[in-house]
Amino acid sequence: MKSARDTREILDKLETQYPDADTELHYTTPFELLVATILSAQSTDVGVNSVTPALFKRYPTARALAKAAHADVEPIIHATGFFRAKARSIIGVAQALVERHAGEVPAVMESLVELPGVGRKTANVVLGHALGVPGLPVDRHVLRVANRIGIAEGDDPVLVEKQLTGALPPERWTRTSDTLILHGRRVCRPKPLCDQCVVRDDCDYFRLVVSRGRGRGSAKTAKKVKRPKKAGRASLRTAKNARGSKRVRAPRR
């Protein structure tokens, strides 16, 4: 794994590729971002953004959503998938906010993760973007990109979060997550577009996997020699007859 100094320098470069990196979920309050992040599970930000305007128009606060009927919420969020489970989650989290925090979203990690349906990643999203508290959300994109580049090591989100936050000052945590997420969506996909990456020369995956693969492909091409065609049966018979024909001697005098 790369040093903290190398990690910061690599992220400096990567941030130039995404100068306006930010969450792509639309929201105006911490409550809206909390709900939108819950809805984003197994869905796209575009899909979530297509349903939240209607949802928040009808249920603008935790108190309003806490009183909602599941049958009324489900059709609104249907396009995000798993709409029944998600309706239970967002109504449940709204009820918990009303009961435990007077309808407000707490700005403390420990309080957020105690809410139903809220994990550490969701809590970090809300803290970092809506509440001004440093947080580094780790999703599948962050895991993939950080491991490939070599600035983190492991598939445990909590461990990777610890590694990244240990290498960076708190004021960079949220921006780093946004940058890695966008890079994972646009360039460092499961099948990466390495030629479009500004940190390709610093990337362990490119050096150890992609470059070697390209090198092997070039070597195979260079070694590929066109073999001569096998002689046909008629040609072989002609050659044998030529070798086996007897020399005619001149008659003795």
The residues that are catalytic are 121, 139
Euclidean distance between CA atoms 5 and 165, whole angstroms: 13
Question: Which tokens go with 212?
Answer: 């070697």
Taking a C-beta distance cutoff of 8 angstroms, is the pair 127, 134 a contact?
yes
Reported as half-sphere exposure (CB side, CA atoms, 13 A), residue 151 has a value of 28
Reported as half-sphere exposure (CB side, CA atoms, 13 A), residue 191 has a value of 0
Indicate the residue type of 174: T
Euclidean distance between CA atoms 199 and 247, whole angstroms: 77
Euclidean distance between CA atoms 109 and 11, whole angstroms: 25
Euclidean distance between CA atoms 175 and 24, whole angstroms: 13
The residue ranges of DSSP E strands in the chain, in sequence order, are none
